[in-house]
């Protein structure tokens, strides 16, 4: 049997080639998009130059994990596939800083709200004449 390139019947459809960068911006009704997606599933459309977003959505992973995976070498990618290493290596723990010593604060005695003690304290601090002047000024403001 001799192989011939000439065929008289063409029953197989030639697949269309669609650039994936334009799929998210395609201005078409949902019905048209659905038919195009069905064609892609049936092999009638060849998706060319897949975007990171399209690949992440198709595989059900985040864009960040795809970006991390793209930074790996082929050997590292194989190690991730085989489960020999994680996608993101854990950070090495930083050296713990020296603990800061907080000086102990002396305990403050409870303050008792005694007016006579407070008045005695003020007289001792600023003098009797100043306290009388303050009281007189306060009396003028109140009046």
pLDDT of residue 26: 80
pLDDT digits (tens, 9 = 90+) for 107-125: 776 666 677 888 888 788 8
Residue the block writes with tokens 């991730």: 80
Do 22 and 64 sit in the same domain of this protein? yes
pLDDT of residue 104: 73
pLDDT of residue 69: 92
- 52/93 Cα distance (integer angstroms): 32
Q: Is the pLDDT of residue 8 over 60?
A: no
pLDDT digits (tens, 9 = 90+) for 30-85: 888 888 888 888 888 888 888 888 888 878 889 899 899 999 999 999 999 898 98
pLDDT digits (tens, 9 = 90+) for 83-102: 898 888 888 877 777 777 77
- 93/95 Cα distance (integer angstroms): 6
Give the chain's domain count: 2
Do 68 and 124 sit in the same domain of this protein? no
Q: Which residue in 12, 20, 19 sits closest to 43, CA to CA?
A: 12
Using pLDDT thresholds of 50, 70 and 90, give the confidence band for residue 15: confident
Do 126 and 75 sit in the same domain of this protein? no
Residue the block writes with tokens 């390139």: 5
Q: Which residue in 15, 32, 14 sits closest to 23, CA to CA?
A: 32
Which residues span the domain enclosing 134?
113-143
Do 20 and 75 sit in the same domain of this protein? yes
pTM to 2 decimal places: 0.48
Do 125 and 70 sit in the same domain of this protein? no
Residues with Cβ < 8 Å from 80, sequence gap 6 or more? 69, 72, 86, 87
Angle between helices 115-126 and 128-142 (to 10 degrees): 120
Task: Compute the half-sphere exposure of residue 138: CA atoms within 13 Å on the CB side of its CA.
Answer: 6
């Amino acid at each position: 049997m001799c192989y011939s390139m000439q065929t008289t019947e063409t029953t197989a459809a030639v697949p269309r080639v669609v650039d994936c960068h334009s799929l998210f911006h395609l201005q078409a009704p949902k019905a048209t998009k659905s038919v195009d997606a069905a064609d892609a599933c049936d092999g009638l459309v060849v998706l060319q130059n897949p975007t990171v977003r399209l690949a992440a959505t198709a595989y059900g992973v985040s864009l960040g994990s795809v970006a991390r995976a793209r930074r790996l070498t082929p050997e590292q990618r194989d190690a991730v596939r085989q489960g020999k290493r994680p996608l993101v290596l854990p950070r090495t723990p930083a050296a713990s800083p020296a603990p800061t010593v907080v000086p102990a604060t002396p305990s403050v005695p409870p303050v008792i709200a005694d007016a006579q003690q407070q008045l005695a304290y003020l007289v001792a601090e600023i003098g009797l004449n100043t306290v009388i002047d303050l009281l007189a000024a306060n009396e003028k403001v109140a009046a």
